[in-house]
Amino acid sequence: MLLPMLSGLSLNVVGIIAFLSFNLIAFAISVFVLFSPRLNLWLCIWNFVMDKLRYILYQKLRAKRREGLLTDIMIKEHKDIKLEVHQVTTDDGYHLVLQRFWCTRSGAAPKKAILMQHGLMENSSVYLLHGEQSIALRMARAGYEVWLGNNRSSLYGQMTLVEDHEGNVQMHEKVNESSFWNYSIDELVKYDFPAMTRKVKQISGLDKIDFIGMSQGAGQAMGSLSSDADMKDHFNSMILLSPACFLRKSPNGLLMQILLQIPESWFGVHEFMMVLSLAPLIMPDWIVGTCGYTIMKMSGFLKRPLGGAESYKTRAKWFKGVPLGCTSTVNLLHWLQVMRDGGVLTRFRTREKYNIEGMLNTWDKQDSSLHKPNVFVILGDDDCVIDHEASRAAFEERDSNNEVIVKTRKVHVANEFGHTDFLWADLENNSHIYDKIQKFLSCH
Ligand SMILES: *[C@@H]1O[C@H](CO)[C@@H](O)[C@H](O)[C@H]1NC(C)=O
Ligand SMILES: *[C@@H]1O[C@H](CO)[C@@H](O)[C@H](O)[C@H]1NC(C)=O
Ligand SMILES: *[C@@H]1O[C@H](CO)[C@@H](O)[C@H](O)[C@H]1NC(C)=O
Ligand SMILES: *[C@@H]1O[C@H](CO)[C@@H](O)[C@H](O)[C@H]1NC(C)=O
Ligand SMILES: CC(=O)N[C@H]1CO[C@H](CO)[C@@H](O)[C@@H]1O
């Protein structure tokens, strides 16, 4: 093997060259097609190619899926952790997977439950990237039963593939239907979040649970609480990591700028950019590990050194799906719309705002004997998509004189942290953030 001989530096150089050449070719093709008089014909061909790619992808995934879900494998590595897999059906008929686990070491059954919801194009394994130091395992060791939410917007592996009763992996029967893919954040807010909450409460038997949400996962939760006043009663404390609630107008970062310029028809019909999901499955680990890192850096999402840097195999495992988990094209278009407009999260078709600010103001004014969740918001000052100033202003709690107080809500802006750093970056630098989270949860 040539690879072990290459140093980390030259791997990065190779990755960047591979990445840039890919972009150059894509750009040349785009220019050619966009200025071609036969634009429609080209688009038909493009969609045909995408359709074929989807089936190659599904075959590859079927093979991988037989090895088991990455999240389950990651949890099972820890002998004193007990894992259960639950399914919940949303009101609009999608089946979501939840992983429930707790530490058996202490003997006593856990009395607290925490639901963790991943961000756009991720799946639940993002909460376990750093093994024992990951926030999910830390919470389990601290005596919680941890619930990881999944699917609908998460990885292709659950979205499109299902197991029959004999355990054979098959394609989802509705996968060819446009209606199956016709979902945006609005559906994640309206159906998925309430369904997962319901399930966690039902199985744990608890009246109130805690929550951690990352980016879209946090936006989804706040959207849901702001549209249904009763939702707040299910939660004791909510931790929001880079919550996608108040966005910058036009994100920073070269790749994001390019993404905003791409014509919509290029994103494919059902799933967003199948090529993105296919590539990591075909390419060797060292390219996946290196390109994944380079892309996260270039998109401006990651500002700190990535953990797992010691081995490209570890990184490849992460990037084979975690950041490229498939989502619907509609969901992506929704995010691009919100990013172009900036400001508070809005609904896809009507562009009506989710009344998150109004909800927070109402909480501040309400009688202190009424229940409201404790909220801890963690923002990075170097976040390329979230407007941390606007988020801070909105989430800060105010008394009747409009003075900022810290009673039920707390906002922490971390220096030199980017959008994804709280879960992805080197844990050495994150443990103090996790300490703060644990402290907040234990005193509320
Ligand atoms: C999450 O993504 C990984 C790929 O990184 C995949 O192997 C895994 O099956 C996915 N789903 C779960 C629930 O872990
Ligand atoms: C979807 O369509 C493709 C052909 O375009 C076909 O091969 C596949 O079996 C279909 N899948 C389902 C679940 O109907
Ligand atoms: C998608 O859903 C919306 C309503 O939620 C509906 O108006 C639209 O026609 C649907 N589109 C497709 C292709 O099913
Ligand atoms: C934290 O991140 C910096 C780079 O941002 C790195 O140099 C340092 O080694 C990391 N670890 C600690 C404990 O600071
Ligand atoms: C919508 C969808 O595909 N949901 C799937 C979520 O994952 C479970 C288990 O893998 C599937 O059974 C569902 O069909």
Label residue 415 exposed, middle or buried (CB < 10 Å: 0-12, 13-18, 19+).
exposed
Task: Determine contact, residues 64/157, Cβ cutoff 8 Å.
Answer: yes
Q: Is 71 a pocket residue for ligand 5 (Cβ < 6 Å)? A: no
List Cα–Cα distances, 118 to 28, 220, 315, 443, in angstroms.
35, 10, 18, 25
* pLDDT score at 6: 44
Q: What angle do CA 424, 391, 421 make, to 5 degrees?
A: 10
The average pLDDT across 412-416 equals 94
Alpha carbons 292 and 294: distance in angstroms, whole number: 5
The average pLDDT across 104-110 equals 77
Contacts of 67 (CB under 8 A, 6+ apart): 73
- Pick the range with the lowest mean pLDDT from 70-79, 144-153, 332-341: 70-79
Tell me the residue range of the domain where 177 lies.
70-251+329-442
pTM above 0.85, yes or no: yes
| Residue 67 CA to ligand 1 centre (angstroms) | 11
Q: Which atom of ligand 1 has the smallest separation from the CA of 158?
A: 11
The reply to whether 305 falls in a domain is no
- With 70 as the cut, is the pLDDT of residue 341 above it? yes
Q: Which atom of ligand 1 has the smallest separation from the CA of 97?
A: 13
Q: Which atom of ligand 1 has the smallest separation from the CA of 64?
A: 7
Q: Which atom of ligand 4 has the smallest separation from the CA of 428?
A: 13
pLDDT band at 1 (very low <50, low <70, confident <90, very high): very low
Tokens representing 125 are: 């394994």
* pLDDT score at 242: 97
For residue 349, give the ligand nearest its CA.
Answer: 3
CA 168 to chain centre: 28
The average pLDDT across 57-82 equals 80
| Residue 179 CA to ligand 3 centre (angstroms) | 7
Q: Which residues pair with 378 in a beta bridge?
A: 241, 412
| Residue 102 CA to ligand 1 centre (angstroms) | 20
pLDDT band at 3 (very low <50, low <70, confident <90, very high): very low
* pLDDT score at 162: 77
For residue 269, give the ligand nearest its CA.
Answer: 3
The reply to whether 400 falls in a domain is yes
For residue 157, give the ligand nearest its CA.
Answer: 1
Q: Is 175 a pocket residue for ligand 2 (Cβ < 6 Å)? A: yes
Task: Determine contact, residues 300/251, Cβ cutoff 8 Å.
Answer: yes
pLDDT band at 426 (very low <50, low <70, confident <90, very high): confident
Contacts of 220 (CB under 8 A, 6+ apart): 117, 185, 188, 189, 192, 193, 213
Q: Write out residues with Cβ below 6 Å of ligand 1.
A: 69-71, 123-125, 150, 155, 157, 320-322
Alpha carbons 436 and 419: distance in angstroms, whole number: 18
| Residue 293 CA to ligand 4 centre (angstroms) | 17
Label residue 392 exposed, middle or buried (CB < 10 Å: 0-12, 13-18, 19+).
middle
Pocket test for ligand 2, best of 57, 61, 159, 176 (most atoms within 8 A of CB): 176
The reply to whether 204 falls in a domain is yes
Task: Determine contact, residues 102/203, Cβ cutoff 8 Å.
Answer: no
Contacts of 205 (CB under 8 A, 6+ apart): none
Alpha carbons 388 and 405: distance in angstroms, whole number: 18
Task: Determine contact, residues 90/152, Cβ cutoff 8 Å.
Answer: yes
The maximal CA–CA distance of the chain, rounded, in angstroms, is: 71
Going by C-alpha positions, the residue among 97, 91, 48 that lies closest to residue 189 is 91
Label residue 25 exposed, middle or buried (CB < 10 Å: 0-12, 13-18, 19+).
exposed
The average pLDDT across 138-146 equals 94
The average pLDDT across 179-185 equals 91
Tell me the chain's radius of gyration from C-alpha atoms: 21
Q: Which residues pair with 87 in a beta bridge?
A: 97
Task: Determine contact, residues 138/434, Cβ cutoff 8 Å.
Answer: yes
The reply to whether 429 falls in a domain is yes
Contacts of 343 (CB under 8 A, 6+ apart): 246, 247, 249, 353, 387, 390
Residues above pLDDT 90, as percent of the chain = 43
- With 70 as the cut, is the pLDDT of residue 357 above it? yes
Give the number of domains in the chain. Answer: 1
* pLDDT score at 367: 86
Q: Is 53 a pocket residue for ligand 2 (Cβ < 6 Å)? A: no
CATH number, domain containing residue 222: 3.40.50.1820
Instruction: Return the SS3 of 10.
Output: helix
* pLDDT score at 4: 41
- Pick the range with the lowest mean pLDDT from 177-186, 268-277, 288-297, 408-417: 268-277
| Residue 185 CA to ligand 1 centre (angstroms) | 21
Task: Determine contact, residues 141/103, Cβ cutoff 8 Å.
Answer: yes
Q: Any idea which residue has 């081995």 for tokens?
A: 311
* pLDDT score at 88: 93
| Residue 96 CA to ligand 5 centre (angstroms) | 6
Tokens representing 417 are: 């942290």
The average pLDDT across 377-401 equals 94
Q: Is 171 a pocket residue for ligand 2 (Cβ < 6 Å)? A: yes
Q: Whose CA is nearest to atom 1 of ligand 2?
A: 176
Q: Write out residues with Cβ below 6 Å of ligand 3.
A: 178-179, 182
- Measured in residues, the chain has a length of 444
What letter represents residue 243's amino acid?
A: P
The reply to whether 143 falls in a domain is yes
Q: pLDDT tens-digit profile of 233-284?
A: 999 999 999 999 999 988 776 777 777 877 777 777 777 766 666 677 778 8
- With 70 as the cut, is the pLDDT of residue 166 above it? yes
Task: Determine contact, residues 298/255, Cβ cutoff 8 Å.
Answer: yes
The reply to whether 380 falls in a domain is yes
| Residue 209 CA to ligand 3 centre (angstroms) | 34
Task: Determine contact, residues 388/381, Cβ cutoff 8 Å.
Answer: yes
Q: Whose CA is nearest to atom 5 of ligand 2?
A: 51
Q: Which atom of ligand 1 has the smallest separation from the CA of 325?
A: 2
The reply to whether 432 falls in a domain is yes
Alpha carbons 75 and 33: distance in angstroms, whole number: 47
Upper half-sphere CA count for residue 135 (Cβ side, 13 Å) = 34
The reply to whether 38 falls in a domain is no
Q: Which atom of ligand 2 has the smallest separation from the CA of 174?
A: 13
Contacts of 316 (CB under 8 A, 6+ apart): 280, 285, 286, 288, 289, 292
